[in-house]
Each structure stands twice: as C-alpha cells, then as structure tokens.
Structure 1
C-alpha cells in the first residue's frame, strides 16, 4: 500500500471513530436535557416551588428572588406549563428544549443540567423574551 493511502486510511478511521463517539455522547445529553427541562416544568405546574427552584441555575433562582419574594412562591405564580417536546439542541455546555408553546434554555453544571431561562418566546429581531431568566 502506498504510504499516502495508508495515512489517509488511518486519518479516516480516526475521524470516523471520533464522530461516532461524539454522536453517542450527544444522545445522552439530549435525554438528560429533555428530562431536566420537563422535570422543572412539571414541578412548577404541580406547584412544587421547592423542586422547581432546585432545577434552576443559581443566577436564574436569584433573579426570581430579587423582588423580595422567595423563589418557590414566585415560580409557581408564573403559570409555567409543560407540553410536548418538539426539539432538543445541545451546544457543548448549553442547550435548548422547544416545547409546544414554550422554550427552555439550560446549562450544564457539575451536578447536571440546570434551567437558565424558561417560558421563552422568540422575537422576530433580538433575543428570546423569557419570564424566568438569569
């Protein structure tokens, strides 16, 4: 075998293995992200403010407490609801879960995925408009 072809074959095999492995990790991330978003929304919907707040990133949680109310009281008053998941996207340490009528953003923390923004609606120009955000 010509040295150039042998090196090309080795590089091709290495890239194929790397892409396959990256795809495997992403599938796990999709499931974990979906689970974290749904768990947060379901807790808020059943008025379990403590569980919903535990699913929030620290800045999002403190953003709800800025008005003097506790996070648990504030989050259940937002009228958050769950729905069918229509899409999940993961970009390294950040993610987005689109649901029927809602969008949730998450970030990966040492303890798992946490919600950074929720009850988000896209706007024609500019960032999403979110009821809960960091």
Structure 2
C-alpha cells in the first residue's frame, strides 16, 4: 500500500514555532505500547476510524487484523514533524502518520517505510 500523503508536505518541519508535538508522540507511543503488551483492541482504539474500518479483511475484526501484521517494534523517538492537524512520528522501528481530531491524535498510518522517490509504503493506512 502506498501512503497518499504528498512527499513535499511530509518534509515540512515546523521549527521555532509553538507546535504541540507531545500529543502525536504520546499517541504513537501508546499505539506501540498496546501492541507490545498484546492488547490489539487498545491499539485499534488509537486508530482513526477510517483506518480501523479499512484494516480488517472480511471475517476479521481490527484486533485480529493487527495481530496478523508486522508493525515493527516502535522503539525510541527519532523525529516528529507537525503541520497543522497532521503529524509524522518516527520511532526507531516504525514511522507513523497521525491526524488531530476533536477527541485527540489518532493513527492514520503505521508500519510505514520510505520508498525511494515515492510516498511511504505502510502496513496500516486509511
């Protein structure tokens, strides 16, 4: 799957501005902590609705679908980029894309790896 975010937009780093990076970082870390604790239902609760709805194959629920994927180990934070209501969080073992909704930051894509000269290839995306 190819993530449809524009590569140029993903390269915009908001620096020197008062930007909340803690929210997307917390959401990304909570997502991977839930996976590491083998709590895929909790991880599904952190997904954007459209992402959670798209994830399962027929006959599966979100938690079963997440168990079947290799989403990386998460790991320590390496970089955060925020532009408006969109964010990219890079952990040592994964790159996630998030969106800020009224109820907080939600994961729109996870298990993302850069593809040379192309958008990211993601295991989970909306």
TM above 0.5, one fold? yes
- Give the SS at the match of 2:119: coil
**Could you tell me how far 1:67 is from its partner in structure 2?**
3.2
| Aligned residue in 1 for 2:17 | 23
Runs (5+) with no aligned partner, structure 1: 1-21
CA distance in 2, matches of 1:46, 1:113: 21
Runs (5+) with no aligned partner, structure 2: 1-15
Report the count of equivalent residues.
110
| Aligned residue in 2 for 1:119 | 111
| Aligned residue in 2 for 1:102 | 94
Query: Superposition RMSD on alpha carbons, in Å?
Result: 1.4
Q: Output the TM-score relative to the length of structure 1.
A: 0.77
Question: 1:33/1:47 Cα in 2 relative to 1: closer, same or farther (>3 Å)?
Answer: same
Aligned pair partner of 2:26 in 35, 39, 46: 35
**Structure exhibiting the larger radius of gyration computed from Cα positions:** 1
User: Would the aligned equivalents of 1:102 and 1:119 in 2 still touch at CA under 8 Å?
Assistant: yes
CA offsets, 1:26-59, max 9 Å, x none?
1xx2011100001011101221011100000011
**Could you tell me how far 1:86 is from its partner in structure 2?**
0.3
User: Would the aligned equivalents of 1:45 and 1:76 in 2 still touch at CA under 8 Å?
Assistant: no
Structure whose residues are more often helix by fraction: 1
Structure whose residues are more often strand by fraction: 2
CA distance in 1, matches of 2:123, 2:58: 14
- Give the SS at the match of 1:87: strand
